[in-house]
Amino acid sequence: MRNLIFMLLGILLVVSCKSPEARKPVTQKSGSYINESIERNKKIVAAEEKQIKQIIEEDSTHQYISSPNGFWYYYHTKDTTGAATPEFGDIVEFDYNLRTLEGQNIYSKEELPTRTYAMDKEKLFSGLREGLKIMKEGETVTFLFPSHKAFGYYGDKKKIGTNVPVISTVTLNKISQENNNPNN
């Protein structure tokens, strides 16, 4: 009888021990916030592009070019000699300004000093970085940037607010080729 009791206790002990089960979360999050954010951003981009296209339609004095990078531009001064455009690491020196789509100055050329920039090695808002890549030395170009190509959701934390599309007139003064030889 004793053996039977020990055997039943042993079987009961083995059966009652099981591994812990994972608990289900109390709340489950869905992707609704992300989906709402995507829809909101699509509406913002569509509204800004509509506003830019209206400006282009109303301006018969300039020939606008649509960039595959998501902005529009026209030339004031164009170099037709076939000079080189800046490449990764080249040092460019340029002047620029920033205005609203309504034409109000945000930063004038006088407020923004001549900028020296190492191509793709320093911080610069994406639209201007991509715009400089299509320019040649001595050219002046006006760019129309939707907010996602300018300062986006955060603005510049000074004069440019959230989701502000901008117009920028840029003059590329000088391109210096990257110095690959450390002995020079």
Q: What is the pLDDT of residues 134-173, one digit of tens each?
A: 999 999 999 999 999 999 999 999 999 999 999 999 999 9
Q: If you write DSSP's letter for every residue of 105-131 in order, what string do you get? A: EEE-TTTSPPEEEETTTS---HHHHHH
Is the CATH code 3.10.50.40 the one for domain 42-176? yes
Contact, 106 vs 100, CB < 8 A? Answer: yes
One-letter amino acid for residue 18 of the chain:
K
Domain-wise residue ranges, the chain: 42-176
Task: Tell me how far apart the alpha carbons of residues 41 and 47 are, in angstroms, rounded to a whole number.
Answer: 10
Q: Which residues pair with 174 in a beta bridge?
A: 93
Task: Tell me how far apart the alpha carbons of residues 168 and 165 are, in angstroms, rounded to a whole number.
Answer: 10
Contact, 144 vs 67, CB < 8 A? Answer: no
pLDDT digits 0-9 by tens, 145-154: 999 999 999 9
